[in-house]
Chains A and B, each alone.
Chain A
Amino acid sequence: MFTLNVNGQSHDVDVPPDMPLLWVLRDVVGLTGTKFGCGVAQCGACTVHVAGQAMRSCVLPVSALGSRPVTTVEAVGQTPAGQKVQQAWLEIEVVQCGYCQSGQVMSAAALLTHTPDPTDADIDAAMSGNICRCGTYARIREAIKLAATGRTTAMPTVPIAAPAGPGAQS
């Protein structure tokens, strides 16, 4: 029996000590916002905060948690960084299919908590472990910058070559 502090609430769970936190959250506590992707800490979809740190819950045995508090995507909006990230995500319309996004939001919120004004290199270091198969990376980067600074910057775009010759101007 373990007593978990998840999103400020206490949960007593009767699970094997080596059950990954992800399954405790999804199947026992009933918080399904955190997603299963790869199961081996290679995609980031299962990211939660443990004592403020972004962690891959799919490889974190519940017994390793101790008394550290857990925050999931369901409650990250109640933290200052999480709130900014979610607002920026809406404004930039980052999400495409959405499956990876709870992990992306959690990694981004953790980044802004310890690095309020991240450089591109900081964003690479913090976000490279979160994979998005829709390829929303450019919008993720933009939304993190918006959340950090309150300003939008020009997003990188692929120039489309206009057909040359007469009539192109008309």
Chain B
Amino acid sequence: MKTRPTLRIALLGAVTLGVSTLALHETSILRASAHAQDAAPAPSQSVQPASAAQASPLVQRGEYLARAADCVACHTAPGGKAYAGGLPFKLPFGTMYATNITADRETGIGSWSDDDFVNAVRKGVGKGGKHLYPSMPYTSYTAMSRDDALAIKAYLFSLPAVRQPNRANHLAFPFNQRWSMWFWNLVFLKDRRFQPDPALSAEENRGAYLATALGHCGECHTPRNLAFAMKANRQFAGAELQGWRAWNITPDKRFGVGGWSDAQLADYLAAGHANGRGSAAGPMGEAVENSLQYLTPQDTAALVAYLRKIPAQPGEAGTEVDLQPAPVLASSAWAPGAGDTGGALGKHIFEGACASCHQWNGQGQQTPYAALLGSQAVNDPTGLNVVQVMLHGAHMRVRGQTVFMPVFGRGYSDGELAAVANYVVSHFGGKPGRVTPEAVAKARTAG
């Protein structure tokens, strides 16, 4: 198919600038996640606008939707006031800061009209025509209904206005050229509202809306093209961002979540753990903590129903989840099998530092969240997420309890952590790990 010349030029410009912005986007999402991890009092504690009894139905609906869209994850700085912005996005070519979206008239969005807000959320164009960078996931939010966007606005405006000036971005040329987003948007922003798919049930369509327009799952789970737009034909096939792997969440039985039961999927989304499938940590742990745990059981079920309906996508051979790896079958809770081979150093460290919680049979004790058997992370030969969790630990506040794993990054060398990661992949994934000390060193700086 031939492309019209004008569009080609636009495309060229968009790709040139898009490539620059793509890195921007990638880094920003995960930066935001990494920072939000040690930050941010949970919205439930910090953002009580008014008691539920006082809040209007519109505000209550807006609060629910703001959580479903996980606005707080990026728009709150570590230790800062909720929605007041300031979260730094440290990029190779500069630093950007999330903005204040409280109702303060001077420093926040208090003077924005309904149309200003809706345009920012759905078109990436702020008040006065200023283009947002696509670190704001407006290519997903564009599907949001006007009513829902305005409910979120009503909720934000019901919160205390916080006077906190936005910090100026420090970006090198050409990344500081906001107008360039016009080209990027021309090519990659499909300015369209959500349209129910007549082939899907009402529940599945609700799940589709939650997963795309609100939850923006694809921003992490869908691989991106050269200009860092999501590849529509590989939706939810999994992607690597900033040292973490977002898993394949399509119904593929070997590479995706097709083998998970409905209950496992629902538990994972609502509580960050599914028996026999491991636990969420890192950016997904934050998504559970800030957003997914607040969904109603009906909405969680809708998400599950929708995840069953998206096209299955294959993955890379060798990353299949092994639910019955031989080394685990040979182990008891308290000791590995006699023929356990996986590297003496890795095993030595595992038995001292890891086994008392994770156990040799991968069931976990003290908390079910420590169960490793069946998790995608221990079945990934590159051990990306295993390394990240060891380096940075885990911390998730969910359902009234704190789930945590200590930080091991400061106590162990790159070589030791690589050895442990390879042991964990071989023991709990039943496949050789390929983690190198160099990869661990790189992961230390990626978060």
Contact = CB atoms under 8 A, between A and B. Distances in A.
Nearest to B401: A18
B334 A128 contact: no
A59 B351 contact: no
Which of B335, B355, B402, B404 neighbours the largest number of chain A CB atoms within 10 Å of its CB? B335
Interface in B7-53: none
B335 A60 contact: no
Contacts of A111: 334
B384 to A, nearest CB: 24
Interface in A38-95: 40-42, 44, 53-56, 59-61, 63-64
Contacts of B338: 121
Contacts of B177: none
A60 B352 contact: no
B155 interface: no
B136 interface: no
Given A54-B334, A114-B332, A128-B351, A59 B402 contact: no
A65 to B, nearest CB: 10
A97 B46 CA distance: 46
A125 B357 contact: no
Contacts of B332: 114
A55 B335 contact: no
A53 B351 contact: no
Contacts of A18: 400-402
Given A59-B357, A125-B336, A129-B352, A17 B400 contact: yes
Given A40-B406, A61-B401, A110-B334, A56 B351 contact: no
B406 to A, nearest CB: 4
Interface string B331-344: 01111101000000
B367 A64 contact: yes
Contact of A126 (B334, B365, B366, B400): B334
Contacts of B400: 17-18
Contacts of A12: none
A123 to B, nearest CB: 10
A41 B356 CA distance: 7
A126 B335 contact: yes
A136 B85 CA distance: 53
Contacts of A42: 353, 406
Interface string A102-144: 0000000011001100000110111011010000000000000
11 contacts: A17-B400, A40-B404, A41-B406, A44-B356, A53-B365, A59-B366, A115-B334, A125-B360, A129-B355, A129-B356, A131-B352
Given A53-B365, A125-B335, 15 more contacts: A17-B401, A40-B404, A40-B406, A41-B406, A59-B367, A64-B366, A115-B335, A124-B351, A125-B334, A125-B360, A128-B352, A128-B355, A129-B352, A129-B355, A131-B352
